[in-house]
Amino acid sequence: MQTREKLRLPRVLAVVVASAVAPALAGCGTLDRDAVQTEIQNVASAAAEGSLVAQGVEQDRTFRSFSVTRTAELHKEAMNASASLRETPAEAGLGASARQGADLGDRVAGLLERLHLRPTDHAVAHAVRLDLDHLAKQARDQADQL
């Protein structure tokens, strides 16, 4: 009896894992208006928070380690949003917005990478902050128009 239970547990575990992984392997379908809007808002959020990090660097009010860590995290968020907007088909009429959102995400990620590589450079932080503020506004405006 104990041998049957030992064999049953791996089977049950395999079924649980397969049912959890199956939706991810099946694809994401399409992005509807809310999904496109959410991903663009994620880009805006990463840009806005990145601007705050840049401001801290610019004013010499943040630790190097924080700047390095946080810019890496925000870079990943921007890239994930951009990838989702670029790689997942959008519903009819949303393709242009998804492409524009993905482009904004790529630009935000590039600026965050720039700050990540120069985490104590006040001049770089100043330029990055200004650009991120501008991109955050663009992304918010685009999301609001959907």
User: Is there a domain that residue 17 lies in?
Assistant: no
Region 107-132 average pLDDT: 98
Q: How far is 73 from 69, CA to CA, in rounded Å?
A: 6
Q: What is the CB neighbour count within 10 angstroms for residue 4?
A: 8
Domain span holding position 140: 34-145
User: Is there a domain that residue 75 lies in?
Assistant: yes
Q: What does each C-alpha distance from 9 to 6, 15, 16, 20 come to in angstroms?
A: 6, 10, 10, 16
pLDDT at 28: 58
User: Is there a domain that residue 89 lies in?
Assistant: yes
- Whether pLDDT at 126 is above 80: yes
User: Is there a domain that residue 57 lies in?
Assistant: yes
The structure tokens listed for 134 are 């501008």
- Whether pLDDT at 35 is above 80: yes
β-pair partners for 90 = 31
**Is pLDDT larger for residue 25 or for residue 56?**
56
Region 16-41 average pLDDT: 70
**At 44, is the pLDDT very low, low, confident or very high (cuts 50, 70, 90)?**
very high
Region 106-123 average pLDDT: 98
Q: What is the CB neighbour count within 10 angstroms for residue 67?
A: 20
Rounded percentage of the chain residues whose pLDDT exceeds 90: 81
User: Is there a domain that residue 18 lies in?
Assistant: no
Q: How far is 33 from 85, CA to CA, in rounded Å?
A: 11
Using a 10 angstrom Cβ sphere, with 0-12 exposed, 13-18 middle and 19 or more buried, the burial of residue 9 is: exposed
**At 53, is the pLDDT very low, low, confident or very high (cuts 50, 70, 90)?**
very high
Region 59-86 average pLDDT: 98
Sign of the CA dihedral 110, 112, 116, 120?
positive
User: Is there a domain that residue 132 lies in?
Assistant: yes
Number of domains observed in the structure of the chain? 1
- Whether pLDDT at 140 is above 80: yes
User: Is there a domain that residue 9 lies in?
Assistant: no
User: Is there a domain that residue 3 lies in?
Assistant: no
